[in-house]
Structure 1
Amino acid sequence: MRNCSLTLLYLVLVTVPCATAQRPFRGGRGIWGAVRNDSLLTLTAIEEVRKEVRLRKEQNELVDALLVDVRAQFRKSFEGVNPFRNGVEEARGKIKEISGRFDVLLEIVLEPDQLERLKQLQLQREGLRALDRTDFQEQLSLEETQLKEIQELLKEGRKRIQESREDRKAAQQHRSQLESDVLKLLNDEQQKKWNAMKGKTYRFPAPEGRPGSRDQPAEPNGDEDP
């Protein structure tokens, strides 16, 4: 059944020409720099991540096709309009919606163990941002009072970090303090569960040149907001 699904997906994504297949995806600060996207598919744009997940040749071809199509969808959704006319949150929501649809297709391509490792890498990359996800909140079994306190901490902490942008040392200190404060709100079982969900620590590759290269999104450099 799984082989059948992969075959159908391959026919749709690889043998059917995409109108934008020859148009390179260009990064840059714009919407791609301002709106963080930690989707599973976005992670597969990183060659080292593919190796860590151990994608096979046919899987790489399918992932390449998915990346072409998701980037085409991004362009189409924001073509001719200012993506920030209604604020960054709306732009982020639209990107999240599109990415979510393609992540579902990616889950068909990957084997269970590959998907599990990719989700571990996603969680490591997100850090405290994972707490914004409803599914992660449920997995940690956060109580309503905990969640409210965490959200207040994140809001205030992110504000302090943003205000310290010009002082990298101070911003990093605020990040470390915020992480410490948030973890204190979790009980021992929740902290154990979070660490288990992250799996073996993975060091993401450092970005080459400026953020947002032509072929893949900017990589984390330790300066992103949590």
Structure 2
Amino acid sequence: LFGILRNPQIQDEELKLSDDQKGQLRELGEKLQGEGGNVWQKAVERLGGREAVEKLEPEERRAKFQEIMEEFRPELERRAQEIEKQVAEILEPDQFKRLKQIELQWQGVDGLVRPDVAQALGLSEDQQKEIKAAIEERNKEMETLGEEMRGMFPGGFRELSDEEREQIRGKMQELGEKRQAIDAETRKKAMGVLTDDQKAKMPDLMGEPFEFRRPEGGFFGGPGGRQRPARPPAEQ
């Protein structure tokens, strides 16, 4: 939730934050950076460092990371709830509601099993298990694509000839199309789990479509901002 608040487009165009609100959120961001370590980095260190992780087979790496993340899950969920509560205290109710809608659009299918969304939709445990299974299957396929992508230039992109670079660009485009197809299939499976009544609740949970643009600035307008492409929202 707090991550997408770094986007100036969301701050200014959608939420229309005041300077005072931006200041409070900036202070909260600095506090959070000082409090918590990077969970992913902790997992890498637990497994013996980056070099050791890269030597693991994809399936083994996935299993080990999943085991560690499950261990950290209670802490992560508690921390996320605390952050959300603090953000809600800074924003106006309408601003917070819109932020949650944008967050769901950003998360896509993964957002369907978010506790508040699952409760709002009235998802049964079996439905949540089916959706999580579809997400896990997608993650495995994405990991395989990632391995294929990393294996295309082990010596570095700069060391390749112009012809080799052109071949890799074509392959990257092909892999990108595969990623889109995997995402589309996952959305189809997940939305197929919902009843018609549950699907009818989605528009209110997601609100007006939000088009994510790559920001020019970084954290709260600072330099060096980066943003991944937004996942398409879950389809009805």
TM-score (ref. length: structure 1):
0.69
Helix, strand or coil for the counterpart of 2:128?
helix
The answer as to whether partners of 1:74 and 1:98 remain within 8 angstroms in 2 is no
- Map of 1:124 onto structure 2: 105
Matched, 1:188 2:196: yes
- Map of 1:19 onto structure 2: none
Matched, 1:70 2:32: yes
* Among 185, 201, 209, the residue aligned to 2:209: 201
Structure 1 residues not aligned, in runs of 5+? 1-38
Pair 1:56–1:223, CA change in 2 (3 A): closer
Pair 1:203–1:130, CA change in 2 (3 A): same
Which is richer in helix?
2
Deviation at 1:130, TM superposition (A): 1.0
One-letter amino acid of the structure 1 residue matched with residue 176 of structure 2: R
Deviation at 1:223, TM superposition (A): 7.5
- Map of 2:10 onto structure 1: 49
Deviation at 1:151, TM superposition (A): 2.0
Structure 2 residues not aligned, in runs of 5+? 48-64, 150-174
The answer as to whether partners of 2:121 and 2:201 remain within 8 angstroms in 1 is yes
State percent identity of aligned pairs. Answer: 23
One-letter amino acid of the structure 1 residue matched with residue 32 of structure 2: V
Deviation at 1:144, TM superposition (A): 2.6
One-letter amino acid of the structure 1 residue matched with residue 128 of structure 2: L
One-letter amino acid of the structure 2 residue matched with residue 190 of structure 1: Q
One-letter amino acid of the structure 2 residue matched with residue 202 of structure 1: F
Instruction: List per-residue Cα deviations over 1:119-170 (Å, max 9, x = no partner).
Output: 1111111111113322221111112322222222222222123222332211
The answer as to whether partners of 1:206 and 1:219 remain within 8 angstroms in 2 is yes
Matched, 1:152 2:160: no
- Map of 1:14 onto structure 2: none
Helix, strand or coil for the counterpart of 1:55?
coil
- Cα distance in 2 between the residues matched to 1:214 and 1:91: 30
Deviation at 1:222, TM superposition (A): 4.9
Moved more, 60-69 or 134-143: 134-143
One-letter amino acid of the structure 1 residue matched with residue 209 of structure 2: T
Moved more, 152-161 or 47-56: 152-161
Deviation at 1:193, TM superposition (A): 1.1
TM-score (ref. length: structure 2):
0.66
- How is 1:1-226 mapped onto 2 (pairs within 5 angstroms)? 39=1, 41-51=2-12, 52-75=14-37, 82-84=42-44, 85=46, 87=65, 89=69, 90=71, 94-165=75-146, 166=149, 167-206=175-214, 218-222=226-230
One-letter amino acid of the structure 2 residue matched with residue 198 of structure 1: M
Instruction: List per-residue Cα deviations over 1:38-74 (Å, max 9, x = no partner).
Output: x2x2221111110111111111111111111111112
Moved more, 145-154 or 171-180: 145-154
CA RMSD of aligned residues (A): 3.0
- Cα distance in 1 between the residues matched to 2:230 and 2:180: 8
Helix, strand or coil for the counterpart of 1:219?
coil
The answer as to whether partners of 1:74 and 1:95 remain within 8 angstroms in 2 is no
- Cα distance in 2 between the residues matched to 1:142 and 1:179: 16
- Cα distance in 2 between the residues matched to 1:104 and 1:45: 17
Helix, strand or coil for the counterpart of 1:44?
helix
Instruction: List per-residue Cα deviations over 1:62-111 (Å, max 9, x = no partner).
Output: 11111111111124x77xx8443173514566455434312211111111
